[in-house]
Amino acid sequence: MRVPPTGPHSSEMDADHSMPLTNIEGESTDPPTSRPLREGQNLLQKGWKAHLSVKVGRRHGRSRIMARRHEGPLLIQKPFYPRGHDSCQIILVHPPGGIVGGDRLKIDVEVGEMAHALITTPGATRFYKSAGPQASQHADLRLAQGACLEWTPQETLLYDASESRISTQVHMESDSRFLGWDIYGLGRPAAKSHFSHGRCEQSFSLFRSGRPLWIERNQYQGGGESLDAAWGLAGYTTTGTLVCTGCGTESLAKVRGRIESLTGQRVRLAATLRADLMIVRGLASQTRTLLDCFSSLREHLLPSASPAARIWAT
């Protein structure tokens, strides 16, 4: 389903707000489909390319979008400013509604000094079946001194026979705060479509003052042993990781107490504290279950958390 973009009002616009939604390669703007490759053709040649750059700063006592630019089908809706809270909530929109083989999405976010942003998506990000080419999405997130970023996209759905590479890199300063999560749904269990073929290469890297704080790499192989093995996903079709900086033993106790009330037959959760980095891992039978669990843990992890995004309740 296509999500109609809504442009920002003039008070928040930058010089590039009127840039039309076009393909930067000059190809048709009709929804792309994954096509068989000719012999010798590069697997990354086909598909749409899209790039979004957003800068959030603090001005006149609140966090605002200071600049934005997009090329191709990737943009943001009008930002929302919760009453009584100094944060800017941003919804990333990919109008085609799904990602196919050969598509390449690049997201750059900068949060300036003392600014606070929450970034999410209007719904699931879908990687569709591919005829061979790999689709990719890369997010580069940078936080200045005293900045706070909540990177909270809704779930990513990996359709059977999809080929994808998804990476997120976070670069933060010594006193900035970051809370973020990745949630993956494998296949479409409700439609009896399992993740039997295809592959997803996933990575998440967090750096503080140039030094690695957390680096995670996973590979989900369609039909692979790890999907059902006890040491892997144990038959669950949803997996996710939440990380938050600036935490302590008191936060760990609160989170584990909350986890006890959330864990059941449909979801398994575990929390670990490494220095001041909280890591929460989850397995669930449905993506919505894990999203709700992670959302409920935010208030225990980040006292200054922005109010829950309204889009999560739809």
CA dihedral 27, 31, 34, 36 (to 10 degrees): -50
Q: pLDDT tens digit string along 162-173? A: 999 999 999 999
Answer whether residue 153 is part of any domain.
Answer: yes
Q: What is the pLDDT of residues 130-139, one digit of tens each?
A: 988 999 999 9
Q: Residue 159: is its pLDDT beyond 50?
A: yes
What is the extent of the structural domain holding 225?
46-313
For residue 292, the SS3 value is helix
Contact 63, 56 (CB under 8 A): yes
Q: What is the pLDDT of residues 94-110, one digit of tens each?
A: 999 899 999 999 999 99
User: How far separated are the first and last CA of the chain, in Å rounded?
Assistant: 15
Cβ proximity of 175 and 145 under 8 Å:
yes
Question: What is the per-residue pLDDT across 39-78, written as a single tens digit (0 to 9) for each?
Answer: 444 544 578 899 999 999 999 889 999 999 999 999 999 9
Q: What percent of the chain has pLDDT over 70?
A: 86
**Average pLDDT score, the chain:** 86
pLDDT band at 19 (very low <50, low <70, confident <90, very high): very low
What is the model's pLDDT at position 313? 84
Q: Which two tokens stand for residue 69?
A: 């630019």
Residue 90 within a domain: yes
Q: What's the pTM? A: 0.84
- Residue 269 within any structural domain of the chain: yes
The answer to whether residue 245 is domain-embedded is: yes
Tell me which residue has tokens 């393909």. 23
Provide the domain count of the chain: 1
| Residue 2 included in any domain | no
Does some domain include residue 32?
Answer: no
Q: For the residues of 78-122, what is the DSSP string, one character each?
A: PPB--TTS--EEEEEE-TTSSB-TT-EEEEEEEE-TT-EEEEE-S
35 in a structural domain: no
- Per-residue pLDDT at 45: 52
Residue 57 lies in a domain: yes
Q: Across the strands, what pairs with 256?
A: none
